Amino acid sequence: MAAAVVAASVLPAGAAAPAEGEVRVPVRYAHQRLDWRPCGDGSPLECAWMAVPRDWHHPDAGPDLTVAVSRHRATGPGGRRGVLMTAAGGPGASGLDRPAGLVKGEPGLSAAYDVVGFDQRGVGRSTRPVCQTDEEFRELFAHDFRDRSPAAVRGVLRRSRALARDCAARGGGLPPYLTTEQTVRDMDLFRALLGVRKISYYGPSYATMIGAYYATLFPRRVERMVLDSNVGWAGSWEEFETGQPKSFQRRFERDFLPWLAKYDAVYHYGRTAREAKARWEARRRALAEHPVTVGEALVGPNQLDNGTIRALYNAEEGFPALASALVALDSGDDARPDGRQAAEKLFGSYLSPAFLAEFFSVTCGDTAWNRDLDTWLERSARDSSALPLAGARELAFASVCAYWPSGPAPKVRVTGAGLPTTLMLASVHDPATHYEAAVKDHRALRGSRLVTVAGGDHGQFHDGNACVDGIVTTYLLTGRAPARDTTCPAVPLPAPEAASGK
């Protein structure tokens, strides 16, 4: 989509000076004016588009990219205190609608801030690459990642190599420039075009890395910052992602399976966590031999893994849905319609070729990866055996990065130098952004305050936790952070009304 920008007669605040990250903003970008219009489809937001260079370090070396941006205007202009920027996780998720969710139920934030968001380069309504068709992408998950036979392993490597090759060949030259460092320079142009010298920021999941990198490159542009469920930006993507098999298995075995056993009278899936796990494993073995069709979804062993992984992110939404879907799989043709719908929804979709084009561009391009396949074959064999839920797919994901062409992204070392107090949130059983990474991030970000949640959901703000919500809103509205690291109790796990499987 072409950028809807208009030349401005007055330079936006801060746009003329060289960026703190030592990259000058060319005049043709700094002199844009955002042409705000309704986003459409009943959205309460306004949208616009801005042009950015493909490569901020060589702005004349390639075609411009378009970045879609959005805003929710402050409802109390008399008390308006500034701009609160937010971004999406993934990498690969859309952030354009995030301002609407952030202000929902938060009249104080809605009144005090213009809340703005964006689809980062490579995502959603911004310029994005096309790497594979839906059919090619489905092949990536069409088999059984636990199968370690020579033929199966060769197949995993072949499909991962094809994905890396297809992104390089079909991506329009974009993947090397879809990095976190390039994204935060887009952010700072957005800030300048909004006419403000500083922003506050809220970012969950991968957006914590976006925020941490922005704060490192532009510390004097930051007023307040909340980083929720932190990826391991203090280290490398390789280090962070090799910690995920442990955290997903921990969430599955210590939270979901005991919860499922507690409600055996509802789901009849086992009276103990061990019994429930044995039944889940039996179902997986059966699907490996004979995949089943539920609605339009073909469910095999990888689809069972994928749906289970998805359900672990949020207990309130995910645990009952997964339990009902498991019952429906066991019930076969006798499953109730709502149970079959739950199974089709949970096991029938996982990620997308568009999502993974951005995901691998960022995770393979931001930081260096070990490209020795023997190392990954050995490690993935161990993790597939000991931590199989996410460990089984480790070889497929890591080998994409092992085959990925080396990119130009500079390593950004986060220290917290020059920043105001930053608020960090993390839960001890978060499956996707493990607590160990958050602790390491906290140590790297000098002057930060860590709020630990004694639970397991991914994403703490607006998760029904009054303790967390109170700390975050107080901080964003007044600047007051806890005097020291603190802990909030967990949100109670949900109690199901009835099984919907049979």
Provide the β-strand partners of residue 489: 454
- Indicate the SS3 state at residue 224: strand
CA 393-399-404 angle, to 5 degrees, is: 135
Pairing of strands 5-7, 32-34: antiparallel
Handedness of CA 132, 285, 287, 313 (dihedral sign): negative
Instruction: Exactly one of 97, 255, 458, 463 is catalytic; name it.
Output: 458
Q: What are phi and psi of 214, to 5 degrees?
A: -60, -45
- 487/490 Cα distance (integer angstroms): 9
Instruction: Exactly one of 70, 126, 160, 205 is catalytic; name it.
Output: 205
- 37/33 Cα distance (integer angstroms): 13
Give the end-to-end CA distance of the chain in Å, rounded to a whole number: 47
- Closest listed residue to residue 117, CA positions, set 96, 141, 131: 96
- Indicate the SS3 state at residue 495: coil
For residue 199, CA distances in Å to 155, 325, 422, 448 come to 47, 43, 13, 17
Residue 478 CB: number of other CB atoms within 10 A?
A: 12
For residue 385, CA distances in Å to 48, 249, 346 come to 49, 12, 24
CB-based contact 253:273 (threshold 8 Å) = yes
458 noted as active-site residue: yes
Rg (CA), the chain: 23
- Closest listed residue to residue 116, CA positions, set 91, 93, 95: 95
Q: In the 3-class helix/strand/coil scheme, how is 124-155 assigned residue by residue?
A: CCCCCCCCCCHHHHHHHCCCCCCCCCHHHHHH
57 noted as active-site residue: no
- Closest listed residue to residue 500, CA positions, set 285, 343, 363, 290: 343
DSSP 405: P
Handedness of CA 142, 144, 145, 150 (dihedral sign): negative
- 56/184 Cα distance (integer angstroms): 10
Instruction: Exactly one of 383, 430, 441, 457 is catalytic; name it.
Output: 430
CB-based contact 86:114 (threshold 8 Å) = no
CB-based contact 99:116 (threshold 8 Å) = yes
205 noted as active-site residue: yes
Question: Per DSSP, which regions of 374-489 are E strands?
Answer: 422-427, 449-454, 486-489
Active centre residues (catalytic): 205, 430, 458
